[in-house]
């Protein structure tokens, strides 16, 4: 060893002698704030001579005459400097413009952010990995422009509503395509009563980054599936260097928040009895006629029974999450292994989510022309939930736990004095106690303790690739991926009470399998010709998906002991059967060109064939293009010397045509007949009216904007105007019911809808000192959605909520799903009756106690009642007109504080839950009802209570009283962390350790009177957003966690 050192020194000396003209140069490297930069690399251009700066930034080096030095340092922009005749060279390195150096994953490849003309939002895995969510998509809320992510409610693993630049379809899906490491995966809800978002099968901790492709330039390469945007998930891979081990773990506690106060037992009996009196059927009537009144009761100890049903339904849920990964890489081989475990209790009793994941990724360079690699992920997850009543279609279920605690009478108890359930078996309702009028809902405690709903996933995803490098500038890559998802949904409904009674106790098991393979072959050409940079991609992609479901419902428990499917039951009925397959074949190409980093041009094209369309309409052609111009790289601009305040300015524009087939039935164009039974005999019946002319829904996307960096990249601004013009909308064209077409609709390419808006992102570092840094990122996206044409001469489409109510309308000239209600005008102080407004403006009032219920305000009989069909008017848009986020990170020494605000507004929310909370049947009411009208002259918003009245409150008719402004700002996430100093970690023998505490959904500022204006009873439905009908509220979660690196 010593010999070697001597030899090298000798050689150096020899070299020194040989190059007689070399001389010593010394210097110092500083950063912009004037601090020394240690460990900066200083090399002589064109040689491998070099040195590094010392702790104070000084260096010394011998250089030949007229040498140029290249100085680089981590986090700073490399600089080249001529030595000339100087013996001392001092230089200041600018902070690296990180945003511009970043590599961003794009469709079928990667690009440097500065070379990217398309509109791509990027979210780093590090910002989502520590959040108390079930699926990564929930964590994207407020993080990126143009991407609106709202949580429907606090049910665990309920898919969030994701909209990339507005609603992009009416009858098909508006959820973006989700691609994991190049292979599209499943989204939506594959569960039953228990929600199950398959994206929850991805461990958020395995994610390196999420890219959201928004405009045509970025997304058109995904052709037929790009209309609603594309989410590209890139999982972690090994990085050069020694093996690293990371552990991330947190524990959390979650609770419902913003619950609405309801009447207590005494208030309840007061209101209901007053209602009976006002109806003319007094609670304690003349002898001989049946009593109808509501009365309190006491328990065995003489205590008043006053049940707060919330306490039986909600809880403080405990959550924990652990994730470990090992990664590293040598020159040839890189690897990443991880394991994850999460166990989360929800705010609702019986709502639990558990997930176990394992992932392996290996990449290997076999030789200079062949690279191989692959990744494999296995996930098992179980979603358990009660009937939350909060998933699409469940809103009016009488077993839904969103609704039961707010409408159940508080003067009855869940259990009798002897501990048995308080149940009225004959009526299959909760026991009515001392009330003389029957109650109409189930006892939720029985449901929670006896019914069971689970949805379990086993998902295996994997892909292998091989890359052949023919030359440095030409390579061929083939990637084959599989994505197999098995879902087992199990339900048990007990026989004694609730919705299991009708089946005498029933256990249902259904199995769903989704099997997919995807094969891509891509040829990439990438070469520089002087200032011309050319990148060409041509390729082929095929994807086949087979989906099948089967199962059965076993009914009639032979003994109450049996609660598993395999137990003793009297009968069995098929359940959950489906069968489908689809195949997509695509040919794609892309040209990226730039000249000297100044002028950018990108063109892409794709031809897609899809199996669900008729043979003559299988294929669609999609294409896009974009141009960019970096003004700051122009000589004339540099001459302006704007560098001090404007250091980067780029204009960009894109246009393209993409398609949509997401969510279309596998056999959409067929007319066919289904089989069933007529008693014991087989039957056959017309079940689908197909449409052979069905073809691709298309979306023309235009995007114009600029990127600018000010004050040496302390302030970065991205601005875009966008327009999505969606044409040939595949609509469930409503057929008049008298035509008798199955489902009263035929899928047809009719209709047009346009989304326009602006996106603005401002990323700043207002403060950056050695010890204190404040990063503040603000983004806002506006949206103007307008339906331009519809089927049947632009006939309105009314969109139902859970099959019972139609607060939403799709009408030409309006935003999709706008609220359509009968206008109300408060309560008439003279009569205490709710005032409704005919469409022509005349006002009428409603008295449930009268034979002539509808009268004009002067008391004369009205010709008809108000109803939605005759008197409905558009109240306003349901889609937020703006959404955004404001993300602040403060760092002080070892501390870091992150506060993320999410805001949304400009729209209305239909507070249907409030209709229920004011309903004058036997339902409990919100405490506001105590301010009801009682005597002439009372000015209040609560009408005179009349028992049985379900009109004045809006249960029977959708009224504007229940359509409220939906503006809000929410502290989505607050997290405070502390990273231990190196001196401590060194002593502990670990690399890094950080502790943190945080709160998800800390608070909401809003005037909305329901639980939460961030709500979606209809989930991801396109035509009925912002409906709040009997859903549970959002959860607030507090976490404490640790990140350890070894």
Partner 1 sequence: MKRKIFSAIIIGAVFASCQKERLDPIPQTQLSDAVAFSTPERAAQQVNGIYSALKQGNFYAGRFQVYMDVRGEEFINFTNNGVTAFLTWNFTQTPTTNEVQNLWAAAYQTINRCNVVIEGIAAATLADNLKKQYTAEAKVVRAISYWSLMQMYARPFTEASGPASPGVPLRLTAITSSGNNNIVRSTVGDVYTQILKDLNEAEVDLPLNYATADLNTTRAHRNTAVSLKTRVLLSMGRYADVITEGNKMVPAAAPFQAATGVANRLNPSIATTFTTYNTTESILSMPYTNLDLPGTQNSLNSYYNPGPNGNGDFVLNTTGNGIVANTNWTATDARRAFNIASGGQTYLRKWPKNAGTDPDWIPVIRYAEVLLNVAEAEARQGTGLNARALALLNAVRQRSDAATTLAPADKDALIAAILLERRIELLGEGLRTADVTRTGANFAAKGSVGAYGPSSNLYIWPISNAEILTNKEMVQNPGY
Sheet holding 1027-1028, edge to edge: 963-965, 908-911, 1027-1028
Q: Which two tokens stand for residue 262?
A: 């309801």
Residue 542 interacts with partner 1 (CB under 8 A)?
yes
Residue 672 interacts with partner 1 (CB under 8 A)?
yes
What is the size of the binding site for partner 1 (CB under 8 A)?
115
Residue 488 interacts with partner 1 (CB under 8 A)?
no
Residue 544 interacts with partner 1 (CB under 8 A)?
yes
Say how far apart CA 742 and CA 686 lie, in whole Å.
7
Within 724-783, the residues that bind partner 1 by CB under 8 A are 733-742, 744, 746, 748
Say how far apart CA 37 and CA 57 lie, in whole Å.
5
- Give the three-class secondary structure for 1032: coil
The answer to whether the beta carbons of residues 251 and 1039 sit under 8 Å apart is yes
Residue 599 interacts with partner 1 (CB under 8 A)?
no
* Closest distance of CB 603 from partner 1, Å: 22
Within 795-824, the residues that bind partner 1 by CB under 8 A are 795-796, 798, 803-804, 806
Q: What share of the chain is helix, strand, coil (3-state, %, to 5)?
A: 15, 50, 40
Phi, psi of 827 (to 5 degrees): -115, 130
For 286-298, b where at least 16 C-beta lie within 10 A, e where not — what string? eeeeeebbbbbee
* Closest distance of CB 563 from partner 1, Å: 16
Q: Which of 641, 680, 771, 983 binds partner 1 (CB under 8 A)?
A: 680
Choices 101-109, 123-131, 667-675, 905-913 (CB under 8 A): range interacting with partner 1: 667-675
Say how far apart CA 1041 and CA 979 lie, in whole Å.
12
Residue 501 interacts with partner 1 (CB under 8 A)?
yes
* Closest distance of CB 416 from partner 1, Å: 15
* Closest distance of CB 914 from partner 1, Å: 16
Residue 473 interacts with partner 1 (CB under 8 A)?
no
Residue 478 interacts with partner 1 (CB under 8 A)?
yes
Say how far apart CA 592 and CA 115 lie, in whole Å.
9
Residues 6+ apart with CB under 8 A from 509: 488, 489, 490, 491, 551, 552, 565
Q: Which of 247, 337, 670, 758 binds partner 1 (CB under 8 A)?
A: 670
The answer to whether the beta carbons of residues 704 and 653 sit under 8 Å apart is yes
String marking each residue 403-442 x if it binds partner 1 according to CB under 8 A: ---------------------xxxxxx--------x-x--
Say how far apart CA 143 and CA 210 lie, in whole Å.
11
String marking each residue 371-400 x if it binds partner 1 according to CB under 8 A: -------------------------x-x--
Q: Which two tokens stand for residue 872?
A: 């409905």
Within 305-364, the residues that bind partner 1 by CB under 8 A are none
Q: Of 134 and 1017, which has the nearer Cβ to partner 1?
A: 1017
Q: Of 419 and 863, which has the nearer Cβ to partner 1?
A: 863
Residue 34 interacts with partner 1 (CB under 8 A)?
no
* Closest distance of CB 864 from partner 1, Å: 5
Q: Which two tokens stand for residue 922?
A: 């036997």
Residue 563 interacts with partner 1 (CB under 8 A)?
no
Choices 218-226, 308-316, 697-705, 864-872 (CB under 8 A): range interacting with partner 1: 864-872
Q: Of 613 and 903, which has the nearer Cβ to partner 1?
A: 613
- Cβ burial, residue 616 (10 Å; 0-12/13-18/19+): exposed
Residue 684 interacts with partner 1 (CB under 8 A)?
yes
Length, in residues, of the chain: 1046
Residue 571 interacts with partner 1 (CB under 8 A)?
yes
Q: In whole angstroms, how far apart are CA 521 and each of 379, 482, 483, 624? A: 27, 15, 18, 21
* Closest distance of CB 929 from partner 1, Å: 17
Say how far apart CA 659 and CA 584 lie, in whole Å.
13
Q: Which of 579, 595, 645, 772 binds partner 1 (CB under 8 A)?
A: 579
Within 630-659, the residues that bind partner 1 by CB under 8 A are none
Q: In whole angstroms, how far apart are CA 530 and each of 101, 853, 860? A: 21, 85, 88
Residue 882 interacts with partner 1 (CB under 8 A)?
no
Residues 6+ apart with CB under 8 A from 758: 719, 720, 721, 722, 781, 782
Say how far apart CA 152 and CA 171 lie, in whole Å.
20
Q: In whole angstroms, how far apart are CA 509 and each of 350, 493, 506, 554? A: 19, 12, 10, 9
Q: Of 353 and 798, which has the nearer Cβ to partner 1?
A: 798
DSSP code for 14: H
- For strands 333-345 and 352-365, give the pairing: antiparallel
Q: Of 301 and 851, which has the nearer Cβ to partner 1?
A: 851
Residue 555 interacts with partner 1 (CB under 8 A)?
yes
Q: Of 56 and 616, which has the nearer Cβ to partner 1?
A: 616
User: How far, rounded to the nearest angstrom, does the alpha carbon of residue 827 sit from its chain's CA centroid?
Assistant: 40
* Closest distance of CB 897 from partner 1, Å: 50
Tokens 């059965």 identify what position? 552
- Give the three-class secondary structure for 347: coil
Within 279-308, the residues that bind partner 1 by CB under 8 A are 279, 281, 289-290
Residue 678 interacts with partner 1 (CB under 8 A)?
yes
Choices 33-41, 170-178, 942-950, 991-999 (CB under 8 A): range interacting with partner 1: 942-950
Q: Which of 17, 566, 851, 983 binds partner 1 (CB under 8 A)?
A: 851
Classify 1030 in phi/psi space as left (phi over 0), alpha (psi -120 to 50) or beta: left
Choices 69-77, 608-616, 630-638, 764-772 (CB under 8 A): range interacting with partner 1: 608-616
Q: Of 750 and 773, which has the nearer Cβ to partner 1?
A: 750
Q: Of 342 and 510, which has the nearer Cβ to partner 1?
A: 510
Choices 144-152, 213-221, 536-544, 926-934 (CB under 8 A): range interacting with partner 1: 536-544
* Closest distance of CB 297 from partner 1, Å: 17
Choices 246-254, 516-524, 996-1004, 1017-1025 (CB under 8 A): range interacting with partner 1: 516-524
Residue 839 interacts with partner 1 (CB under 8 A)?
no
- 871: number of Cβ within 10 Å: 21
For every residue of 908-935, DSSP letters joined together read: EEEEHHHHHHT--SS---BGGGGG---S
Say how far apart CA 190 and CA 578 lie, in whole Å.
13
DSSP code for 262: B
For every residue of 228-256, DSSP letters joined together read: T-EEEEEE----SEEEEEEEEEEEEEEEE
Choices 152-160, 567-575, 996-1004, 1012-1020 (CB under 8 A): range interacting with partner 1: 567-575
Choices 12-20, 92-100, 579-587, 765-773 (CB under 8 A): range interacting with partner 1: 579-587
Q: Which of 868, 883, 925, 985 binds partner 1 (CB under 8 A)?
A: 868
Q: Which of 864, 893, 982, 1007 binds partner 1 (CB under 8 A)?
A: 864
The answer to whether the beta carbons of residues 915 and 885 sit under 8 Å apart is no
Say how far apart CA 470 and CA 477 lie, in whole Å.
11
Residue 904 interacts with partner 1 (CB under 8 A)?
no
Say how far apart CA 949 and CA 353 lie, in whole Å.
41
* Closest distance of CB 676 from partner 1, Å: 6
Residue 948 interacts with partner 1 (CB under 8 A)?
yes
Q: Of 249 and 410, which has the nearer Cβ to partner 1?
A: 410
Q: Which of 34, 863, 937, 989 binds partner 1 (CB under 8 A)?
A: 863
Q: Which of 294, 565, 933, 947 binds partner 1 (CB under 8 A)?
A: 947
The answer to whether the beta carbons of residues 935 and 945 sit under 8 Å apart is no
Q: Of 641 and 680, which has the nearer Cβ to partner 1?
A: 680
């Amino acid at each position: 060893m010593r010999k070697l050192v001597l030899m090298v020194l000798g050689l150096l000396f020899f070299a020194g002698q040989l190059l007689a003209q070399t001389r010593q140069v010394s210097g110092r490297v500083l950063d912009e704030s004037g601090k020394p930069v240690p460990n900066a690399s200083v090399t002589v251009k064109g040689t491998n001579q070099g040195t590094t700066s010392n702790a104070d930034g000084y260096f010394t080096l011998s250089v030949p005459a007229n040498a140029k030095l290249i100085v680089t340092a981590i986090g700073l922009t490399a600089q080249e400097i001529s030595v000339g005749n100087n013996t001392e060279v001092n230089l200041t390195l600018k902070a690296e413009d990180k945003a511009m150096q970043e590599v961003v994953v794009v469709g079928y490849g990667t690009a440097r952010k500065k070379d990217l003309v398309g509109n791509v939002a990027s979210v780093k895995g590090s910002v989502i990995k520590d959040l108390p969510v079930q699926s990564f998509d929930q964590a994207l809320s407020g993080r990126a422009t143009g991407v609106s992510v709202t949580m429907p409610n606090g049910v665990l693993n309920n898919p969030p509503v994701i909209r990339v630049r507005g609603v992009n379809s009416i009858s098909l899906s508006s959820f973006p395509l989700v691609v994991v490491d190049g292979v599209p995966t499943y989204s939506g809800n594959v569960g039953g009563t228990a929600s199950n978002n398959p994206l929850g099968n991805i461990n958020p901790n395995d994610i390196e980054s999420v890219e959201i492709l928004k405009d045509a330039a970025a997304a058109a390469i995904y052709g037929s599936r790009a209309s609603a945007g594309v989410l590209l998930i890139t999982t972690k891979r090994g990085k050069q260097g020694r093996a690293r081990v990371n552990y991330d773990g947190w524990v959390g506690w979650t609770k419902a928040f913003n619950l609405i106060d309801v009447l207590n037992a005494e208030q309840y009996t007061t209101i209901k009895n007053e209602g009976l009196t006002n109806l003319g059927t007094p609670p304690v009537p003349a002898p001989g006629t049946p009593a109808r009144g509501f009365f309190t009761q006491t328990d065995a100890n003489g205590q008043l029974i006053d049940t707060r049903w919330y306490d039986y339904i909600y809880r403080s849920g405990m959550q924990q999450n652990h994730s470990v990964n090992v990664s590293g890489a040598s020159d040839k081989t890189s690897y990443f292994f991880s394991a994850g475990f999460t166990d989360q209790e929800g705010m609702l009793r019986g709502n639990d989510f558990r997930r176990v994941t394992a992932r392996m990724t290996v990449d290997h360079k076999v030789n200079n022309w062949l690279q191989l690699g692959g990744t494999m992920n296995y996930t098992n997850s179980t979603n358990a939930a009660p009937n939350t009543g909060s998933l699409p279609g469940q809103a009016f279920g009488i077993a839904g736990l969103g609704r039961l605690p707010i409408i159940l009478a508080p003067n009855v108890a869940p259990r009798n004095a002897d501990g048995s359930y308080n149940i009225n078996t004959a009526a299959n309702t909760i026991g009515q106690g001392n009330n003389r009028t029957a109650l109409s809902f189930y006892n939720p405690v029985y449901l929670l303790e006896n019914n069971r709903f689970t949805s379990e996933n086993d998902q295996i995803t994997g892909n292998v690739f091989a890359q052949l490098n023919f030359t440095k500038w030409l390579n061929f890559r083939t990637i084959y991926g599989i994505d197999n998802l098995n879902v087992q949904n199990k339900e048990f409904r007990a026989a004694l009470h609730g919705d299991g009674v009708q089946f005498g106790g029933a256990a249902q098991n259904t199995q769903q399998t989704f099997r997919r393979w995807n094969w891509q072959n891509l040829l990439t050409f990438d070469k520089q010709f002087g200032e011309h940079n050319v990148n060409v991609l041509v390729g082929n992609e095929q994807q086949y998906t087979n989906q099948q479901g089967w199962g059965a419902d076993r009914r009639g428990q032979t003994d109450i002991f049996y609660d598993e499917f395999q137990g003793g039951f009297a009968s069995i009925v098929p359940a959950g059967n489906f069968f489908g397959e689809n195949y997509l074949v695509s040919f794609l190409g892309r040209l990226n060109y730039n000249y000297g980093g100044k002028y950018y041009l990108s063109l892409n094209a794709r031809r897609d064939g899809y199996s669900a369309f008729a043979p003559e309409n299988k294929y669609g052609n999609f294409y896009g293009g974009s141009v960019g111009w970096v003004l700051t790289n122009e000589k004339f601009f540099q001459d302006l010397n704007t560098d001090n305040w404007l250091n980067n300015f780029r204009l960009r524009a894109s246009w393209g045509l993409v398609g949509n087939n997401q969510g279309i039935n596998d056999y959409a164009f067929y007319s066919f007949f289904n089989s069933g039974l007529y008693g014991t005999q087989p039957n056959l019946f017309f079940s689908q009216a197909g449409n052979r002319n069905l073809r691709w829904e298309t979306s023309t996307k235009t995007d114009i904007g600029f990127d600018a960096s000010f004050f040496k990249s302390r302030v970065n601004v991205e601005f875009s105007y966008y327009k999505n013009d969606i044409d040939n909308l595949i609509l469930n064209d409503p057929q008049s019911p008298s035509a008798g077409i199955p489902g009263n609709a035929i899928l047809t390419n009719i209709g047009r809808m346009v989304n326009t808006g602006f996106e603005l992102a401002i990323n700043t570092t207002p403060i950056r000192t050695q010890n204190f840094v404040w990063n503040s990122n603000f983004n806002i996206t506006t949206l103007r959605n307008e339906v331009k044409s519809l089927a049947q001469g632009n006939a309105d489409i009314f969109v139902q909520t859970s099959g019972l109510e139609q607060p939403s309308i799709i009408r030409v000239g309006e935003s999709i799903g706008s609220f359509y209600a009968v206008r109300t005008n408060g309560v008439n102080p003279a009569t205490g009756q709710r005032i409704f407004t005919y469409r022509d403006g005349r006002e009428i009032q409603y008295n449930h106690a009268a034979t002539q219920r509808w009268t004009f305000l002067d008391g004369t009989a009205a010709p008809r009642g108000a109803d939605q069909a005759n008197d409905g008017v558009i109240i306003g848009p349901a889609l937020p007109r703006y959404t955004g986020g404001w993300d602040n990170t403060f760092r002080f020494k070892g501390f870091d504080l992150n506060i993320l605000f999410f805001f949304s507004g400009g729209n209305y929310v239909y507070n249907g839950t409030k209709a229920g909370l004011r309903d004058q049947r036997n339902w409990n009411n919100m405490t506001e009802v105590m301010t009801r009208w009682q005597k002439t002259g009372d000015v209040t918003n609560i009408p005179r209570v009349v028992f049985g009245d379900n009109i004045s409150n809006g249960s029977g008719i959708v009224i504007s009283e229940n359509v409220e402004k939906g503006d809000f700002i929410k502290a989505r996430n607050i997290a405070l962390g502390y990273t231990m100093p190196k001196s401590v970690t060194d002593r502990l023998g670990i690399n890094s350790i950080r502790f943190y505490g945080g709160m998800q959904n800390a608070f909401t500022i809003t005037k909305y009177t329901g639980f939460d204006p961030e709500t979606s009873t209809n989930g991801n439905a396109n035509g009925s957003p912002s409906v709040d009908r009997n859903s549970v509220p959002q959860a607030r979660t507090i976490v404490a966690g640790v990140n350890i690196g070894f």
